[in-house]
Each structure stands twice: as C-alpha cells, then as structure tokens.
Structure 1
Amino acid sequence: MSMNTRTETGFTHIDPDLYAKAFQLLDPEPTPEPAAPAAAAASTPVFVMPPVHRAGAVEKTLTDALAFLDTHGWAKHRLIHPEGARCSIGALRAAADARNDAYRDAGNLLLDEARRQHGKGWESIPSWNDSHSGAQVRSVWEAAIRRAHHMNI
C-alpha cells in the first residue's frame, strides 16, 4: 500500500495578483510628495508618531465620572451621600458641566452596557446601580468607557 502525501483541499486556485489589486482598490497609495534632496533626506531621521487619541465628549464624561467615584466614593440609594460619595447618576452629573448631549449619551451608553451585563430589564441607571455590587457597577463603567473609546465618541 503506497502513501499518498498529496491532500485534496477542494479550494480553487486564486491568482495572488487578484488580492494585490483588490487591496490596492481598498487602500490606494497616497499621492507621492515632492522628493527632498538626497543629502538632506540622508542626514535627517524621520520619526512617525501614531496619532494621539483624543477622547470624545462621551468617553471623557464617563472617564471623569468614574474618576469621581474613585476619588469620592460610590453610593447606593442616594444621589449624594453626606460624605460626598455618589451613585452612578450623581457621578455623571458631577462629570458633565450640564445635562448636555454628552451627559445623555454617556448615560445611555452606561445603561446599555448595564443591560448587556445584567439583563435587559433595567429601566434606569439608579435602579441598576442600587441592585448591584461595587465590582459589578465598576465592570459596567469600564466596559462603557471602552465602547465609547472604540466608537470614538
């Protein structure tokens, strides 16, 4: 009995140039810039820095609110405790200068993430906040911040 080392995959052979052409269409080369004199180009190292991420208004509001909770404390059943701790809504209000679009969008994203992690039945941030542990609440805050970051909002 002879061993057959050839394996039939059933894949149709694709011209590799096809991929190169498709990629070229998706990501065309930038327009070339005028060439610098060779002497200057050789003596000056060029460092390309990635673009700096600037947090959008929603990400900043969520991040500032979580920093407020870390600094002043997290609370249940009250917007603001006498010692200064706040619930999640209280922290959002402290982080946002006003009940503006960023405040509303941050609250909606936080509630959406709470529903993702803890079930769709939560009607409001205060009811969810008051029914969960600090670790559970923090997990939702952190996930909401990551989502805002990835959504660039």
Structure 2
Amino acid sequence: MTTRTETHFTPIDQNLYAKAFQLLDPTPEPPVPPALAAPSPVSVILAAGPVHHPGPVEKTLTDALAFLDTHGWAKHRLIHPEGARCSIGALRAAAGARNAAYRDAGRLLLDEARRQHGSQWKGIPAWNDAHTGPQVRSVWEAAIQRARHLNI
C-alpha cells in the first residue's frame, strides 16, 4: 500500500493574521452616516408593500385557469376523454364543490363574458362553445383581474 503525502502548504495571507487580531481587539470604527447605511431587514419588508391574499372567488378563478392551462380547454363537453375541460368543468375542478366561491366565480365569469361578447349569453357553456381559446382566455383573465380589484 502506498500513501501519498502532500508536502506543499498553501501560503498564509499575512492580512488574514492582521484581520484576526483586529477582531480579537477591535478598535471602534467611525459610524456610517444613515444615508450610506444598508436598509434594515424590517424597512426592506415594509418597503415591499403588502402581500396580496386572493379572496375565494379570485382563487377559484385563478385555480380554474391554471387547470385549463395544465389539462387543456374543451368545447361541447364538460370533460374531454383526454382530460381537457370546458369553462364550467374547470370551475368545478377548482372549487371542489358547488359552494359560494364556485357560484360567485361563475357569475363573475359570465358577467365578463357578456361585457366582452354581448349580453345574449345565458350561461357559460353556450358562451364557452361559441368562442375560440384566446377569446375564452381573455374573459378568464379579465374576470380574475376584476375579482382581485373587488377583493373577493
């Protein structure tokens, strides 16, 4: 068995010794003017502004749109065999149940569909089936923004 031994040592930086002795016997440094001082962690957090907490309607709409982005968007059926869904199917998947957030999100989505595509739409399924993917997405995004603005 052969053991290798390194005989080369890394030279020590003499400034390292000086810094170590300075840390052991520190001399007070002049204070830094407030304008040059780094901001405290608290001031950084406060400057960042409030964190947005989506309301149940915004969360349902956002989750439903994410579901459509992940699984695909469908026309003329609630759930496509490959997993894509229509707008109502995505809302149901996001809400998990036909609860208040589901109903309010559906109302807001239909209201936005009527704003963008005319007041003739009686329900989300008919509107969903009569439009293109980009048109439907535009309504979803606007509904999410309205829910955020309304803080619902």
Q: Equivalent pairs: percent with the same residue?
A: 78
Aligned partner letter, 2:87:
S
2:30 corresponding residue in structure 1: none
Matches within 5 A, 1:37-116: 45=40, 46-47=42-43, 48=46, 49-116=48-115
The separation in 1 between residues aligned to 2:124 and 2:92, in whole angstroms, is 12
> Normalising by the residue count of structure 1, what TM-score does the alignment of the two structures yield?
0.70
RMSD over equivalenced CA pairs, Å: 1.4
Deviation at 1:97?
1.8
The separation in 1 between residues aligned to 2:141 and 2:50, in whole angstroms, is 23
SS of equivalent residue, structure 1 residue 99: coil
SS of equivalent residue, structure 1 residue 70: helix
The separation in 1 between residues aligned to 2:91 and 2:138, in whole angstroms, is 16
Q: Provide structure 2 residue ranges, at least 5 long, that are not aligned to the other structure.
A: 1-33
The separation in 1 between residues aligned to 2:96 and 2:50, in whole angstroms, is 28
Tell me the matched-pair count.
112
Determine which structure has more spread, i.e. the larger CA radius of gyration.
2
2:136 corresponding residue in structure 1: 137
Matches within 5 A, 1:20-31: none
Q: Deviations over 1:122-146 (max 9, x none)?
A: 0000000000000000000000000
SS of equivalent residue, structure 1 residue 62: helix
The separation in 2 between residues aligned to 1:95 and 1:51, in whole angstroms, is 26
The separation in 2 between residues aligned to 1:81 and 1:50, in whole angstroms, is 42
Q: Provide structure 1 residue ranges, at least 5 long, that are not aligned to the other structure.
A: 1-41
Q: Deviations over 1:98-148 (max 9, x none)?
A: 100000000000000000000001000000000000000000000000000
The separation in 2 between residues aligned to 1:71 and 1:92, in whole angstroms, is 14
Deviation at 1:50?
1.1
